[in-house]
Amino acid sequence: MNFSIPQQTSLENFVKYWSGVYDDTNEKLYTENINQPLAAEQVMQLFIWKNGGKLSKLKEISVKKNYISRIADLETLPKNTSAKEWLDRFGTGEAIWNIFFLHIWNSEIPIFDQHVYRAMRFIQTGTSEEIPPSKKQKTKIYLEDYLPFYNELNNKITQAQPRDLDRALWKFGQFLKWFKSNQF
């Protein structure tokens, strides 16, 4: 078997292909709970989706402490609050989950994780890099690198939705991880 990664394609074709091969058996947890009034059950279901399945007891405690307990604080916050200001105020947990909680609050703000980071770096540099380990580094990369990168791509797509771009970047980054560890 021989695989190659295309070096050039249109953004529309990239998004169409990679979002088309995105597969998540738990996607219903996301689609049924995102953009709903913020309530404990919806937030918990979204974190179960983000986790890829059931939360460990420690993760469940973290979600309740760092996110569910703060739902009431979000009700009066203006939707035009910047991601940086929001994370400074509500970023009490792990960086990726803080960013996901931001996305739950405002789904127009993109999700961030190891896969979309890997996809971004590959698109920018042609190399597959892993996300740095520290909370501070992840948050800084999200605010200074990923948001501008994502927004630039999102502004260029005309035949897809922002969620399609999220799915495409996630799936492509997941593929890069698989490809790196399974080179033939």
Which two tokens mark 147?
């948001």
- What pLDDT was estimated at residue 5? 53
What's at 19, amino acid-wise? S
The separation between CA 173 and the C-alpha centre of its own chain, rounded to angstroms, equals 11
Which two tokens mark 129?
């890099």
- What pLDDT was estimated at residue 158? 87
Q: What is the pTM of this model?
A: 0.91
Please determine, for residue 179, whether its predicted confidence score (pLDDT) is greater than 90.
no
pLDDT digits (tens, 9 = 90+) for 55-69: 999 999 999 999 999
pLDDT digits (tens, 9 = 90+) for 2-45: 445 556 788 999 999 999 999 999 999 999 999 999 999 999 99
Q: How confident is the model over 96-103, as a mean pLDDT?
A: 97
- What pLDDT was estimated at residue 1? 40
Which two tokens mark 96?
């990726």
For 79, 83, 166, the CA distances from 29, given in Å and listed in that order, are: 24, 24, 16
pLDDT digits (tens, 9 = 90+) for 108-163: 999 999 999 999 999 999 998 999 999 999 999 999 999 999 999 999 998 888 89
Which two tokens mark 76?
């009066």
Burial grade of 102 (CB within 10 A; 0-12, 13-18, 19 or more): buried
For 12, 74, 138, 152, 169, the CA distances from 164, given in Å and listed in that order, are: 10, 27, 23, 15, 9
- What pLDDT was estimated at residue 2? 47
